[in-house]
């Protein structure tokens, strides 16, 4: 399954990969239909659960580390961070 992953999900996965030194990430999704919307307390079907792999490259993790270091430096120096590009 492919598609666009919302940026906040991707950022969170990049952070997890950085903190836990992971090299792979994915999102679990459940395919919803009208009956589940009407009755959200029904038993879930494992066949409707999908794992979506998200590519997290070393470059993305290094960029994340650079941004965290910059924010940490700003905190130490009591300065307001500029927009990070």
Report if residue 66 sits inside a domain.
Answer: yes
pTM above 0.95, yes or no: no
Instruction: Say which residues have a Cβ less than 8 Å from residue 29's Cβ, sequence separation at least 6.
Output: 1, 49, 50, 51, 52
Say if CB 23 and CB 17 are below 8 A apart: yes
Report if residue 18 sits inside a domain.
Answer: yes
Provide the residue range defining the domain that includes 33: 7-76
**What mean pLDDT, rounded, does the chain reach?**
90
Report if residue 1 sits inside a domain.
Answer: no
Report if residue 42 sits inside a domain.
Answer: yes
The answer on pLDDT for 34 being more than 60 is yes
Per-residue pLDDT tens over the stretch 43-71: 989 999 999 999 999 999 999 999 999 99
Domain count, the chain: 1
Say if CB 81 and CB 70 are below 8 A apart: yes
Report if residue 81 sits inside a domain.
Answer: no
Report if residue 2 sits inside a domain.
Answer: no
Report if residue 30 sits inside a domain.
Answer: yes
């Amino acid at each position: 399954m492919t598609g666009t992953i919302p940026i906040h999900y991707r950022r969170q996965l990049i952070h997890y990969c950085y903190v836990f030194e992971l090299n792979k990430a994915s999102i679990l999704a459940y395919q919803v239909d009208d009956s589940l919307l009407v009755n959200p307390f029904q038993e879930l079907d494992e066949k409707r659960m999908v794992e979506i792999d998200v590519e997290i490259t070393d470059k993305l993790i290094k960029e994340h580390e650079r941004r965290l270091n910059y924010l940490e430096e700003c905190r130490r120096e009591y300065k307001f961070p500029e927009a990070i590009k």
